Amino acid sequence: MRSRRTQEALPEGPDKARVVGAMFDAVAPRYDLVNRVMTFGLDRRWRRVTVAALGLPWGTTVVDLACGTGDLCADLAGAGLVPIGFDMSAGMLAAAHSTAPLVRADVGALPLADGSVAGATCGFALRNLVDLRGFLAELARIVRPGGRIALLEVAEPSNPALRLGHHFYFTRVVPRIGAALSDGTAYRYLPRSVDYLPPVDTLVAAVASHGFPDVTRRTLSGGVVQLLVGTRA
């Protein structure tokens, strides 16, 4: 399915950074609305599960990386944690609704000291990074030993019937929703961007090898979403 999905080469390196940055700036004003519609509101549950999976004490500072409009920051704050959001997209930060501090920064080179935070989250952004391994190394640098990470990302169901239905919805229906409510080009890119993700075993191994050896992976909503959770060694 991965090879059928890609009809033309996806951008890489600096081109990817430029394309993805422009895309998120364009969709920012209606980003939250499209998310609610295309996920049937399930994105709210996925974020709550992500925050709960951290298992961090009340008052703990947690960074949300590629924070977008601040949805995860709001959920972190609602759980009694102290969030700080980082994102490269000026458009997304301008459209943010969170009261948490938000910083425009490259999540692969954060303006944070080594071991300065107790937790980190990232929602649906791993496939949009130019350097996934560099990002994981940065996570290991900023999260102190014993700290926790929770990385939320799209996935493909393992059940063949569910996978087929999900493929149809993601590649045919989601782009039409995006075109009707926001930016058609951006939401045609969305299904194709899954091809940036490494195979599951490779992704889990990469997280483990970058300082989170106890990493676990669980799927949500029939396997359309995956959550990677780990503790800094």
| pTM for this predicted structure | 0.94
- Dihedral sign, Cα of residue 77, residue 81, residue 86, residue 87: negative
Could you give phi then psi for residue 14, rounded to 5 degrees? Answer: -60, -35
Task: Classify domain 2-231 by CATH architecture.
Answer: 3-Layer(aba) Sandwich (3.40)
Rounded distance, CA 73 to CA 71, Å? 5
Tell me whether residue 85 is exposed, middle or buried, using C-beta atoms within 10 angstroms of its C-beta: 0 to 12, 13 to 18, 19 or more: buried
**In the chain, where the domains are located:** 2-231
Cα angle 81, 223, 62 (rounded to 5 degrees) comes to: 15
Angle between helices 174-181 and 31-38 (to 10 degrees): 150
The chain-wide mean pLDDT, for the chain, equals: 95
Tokens at residue 130, please?
A: 């130019």
Q: How far is CA 20 from the centre of its chain?
A: 13
pLDDT tens digits for 143-202? 999 999 999 999 999 999 999 999 999 999 999 999 999 999 999 998 899 999 999 999
pLDDT tens digits for 110-128? 999 999 999 999 999 999 9
Q: How confident is the model at residue 7 (pLDDT cuts 50, 70, 90)?
A: low
Rounded distance, CA 10 to CA 77, Å? 36
Are 69 and 102 in contact, with CB atoms under 8 Å apart?
Answer: no
